[in-house]
């Protein structure tokens, strides 16, 4: 099954998208006829831009009322994706930053287009740290030293570098991405009964409960500061969450501190 994310104008990871995604994953978890879920984007430039910076505690209340124990509202999305019974694959043709990049790391596999895909944890430029699982998922995938580079360097990584670091499975030419991922998904879906479930049972996701608690403490200690609100407000005023501003979002936020 291919799930296409379509939230114009830049595919923000909004409250509505998070709500729909969690509901979809809940529904699919009980559907043993679906073996593979491919996450793709209707927007060629943005897979998931990042979490909506205008989201408020009030708008998140519905998601917060139904949280699994031990995770915050953003971590819950990644953890649900990581523990999905189906094989989850990201087809990354455009950019994914912040919470969008965290979802890429939460999926079982990710494949990215050379020349068009980009991954970045931009939170440090907003005065915070990732709060949706990145500190744990990245450390597991790329190692502590590179996780610190990604989180504190706050740059956009191209597909080839992300592949070399281990952030994604493979970087592919843009015109080969669809064919490769579709073929892989079809091959997995065609395996004999029980094989996918057995593999996912044997190759389990790491339990990051303690690390996610530390991440939430670090994130929540920064996100409610007045300086953070000022940075995000200035970013929005400067063009964040517009198609033009999001093309060079790191530069936009760095200019605020120049």
The structural domains of the chain, ordered by start, are 2-190+208-256 (3.90.226.10)
Entry pTM: 0.96
What are residue 172's DSSP bridge partners? 113
* Alpha helices by DSSP H, 125-208: 134-142, 144-153, 159-165, 174-189, 195-202
State how far the Cα of 137 lies from the Cα of 167, in Å rounded to an integer: 9
Residue 157, beta-bridge partner list: 119
**DSSP annotation of 90:** E
Nearest to 38 by CA among 138, 177, 237, 150: 177
Q: What is the pLDDT of residues 34-82, one digit of tens each?
A: 999 999 999 999 999 999 999 988 999 999 888 999 999 999 999 999 9
pLDDT in tens, 194-252: 999 999 999 999 999 999 999 999 999 999 999 999 999 999 999 999 999 999 999 99
Band (100; pLDDT cuts 50, 70, 90): very high
Rg (alpha carbons) of the chain, rounded to whole number = 17
Q: 25, 258 in Cβ contact below 8 A?
A: no
What pLDDT sits at residue 34? 97
Predicted confidence (pLDDT) per residue in 126-169, tens digit:
999 999 999 999 999 999 999 999 999 999 999 999 999 999 99
pLDDT above 80: residue 122: yes
């Amino acid at each position: 099954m291919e799930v296409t994310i379509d939230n114009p104008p830049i595919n923000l990871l909004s409250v509505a998208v998070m709500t729909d995604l969690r509901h979809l994953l809940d529904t699919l978890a009980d559907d043993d006829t679906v073996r593979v879920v491919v996450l793709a984007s209707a927007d060629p430039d943005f897979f998931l831009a990042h979490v909506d910076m205008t989201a408020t505690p009030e708008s998140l209340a519905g998601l917060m009322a139904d949280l699994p124990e031990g995770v915050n509202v953003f971590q819950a999305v990644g953890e649900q994706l990581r523990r999905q019974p189906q094989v989850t694959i990201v087809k990354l043709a455009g950019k994914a930053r912040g919470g969008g990049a965290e979802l890429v790391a939460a999926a079982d596999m990710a494949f990215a287009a050379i020349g068009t895909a980009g991954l970045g944890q931009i939170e440090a430029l907003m005065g915070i740290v990732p709060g949706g699982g990145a500190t744990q998922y990245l450390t597991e995938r790329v190692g502590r030293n590179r996780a610190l580079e990604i989180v504190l360097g706050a740059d956009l990584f191209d597909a080839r570098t992300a592949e070399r670091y281990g952030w994604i499975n493979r970087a592919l030419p843009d015109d080969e991405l669809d064919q490769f991922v579709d073929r892989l998904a079809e091959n997995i879906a065609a395996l004999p009964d029980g094989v996918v479930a057995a593999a996912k049972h044997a190759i389990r996701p790491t339990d990051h409960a303690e690390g996610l608690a530390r991440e939430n403490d670090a994130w929540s200690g920064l996100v409610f500061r007045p300086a953070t609100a000022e940075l995000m407000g200035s970013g929005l005023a400067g063009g964040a969450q517009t198609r033009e501003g999001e093309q060079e979002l790191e530069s936009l936020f760095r200019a605020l501190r120049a």
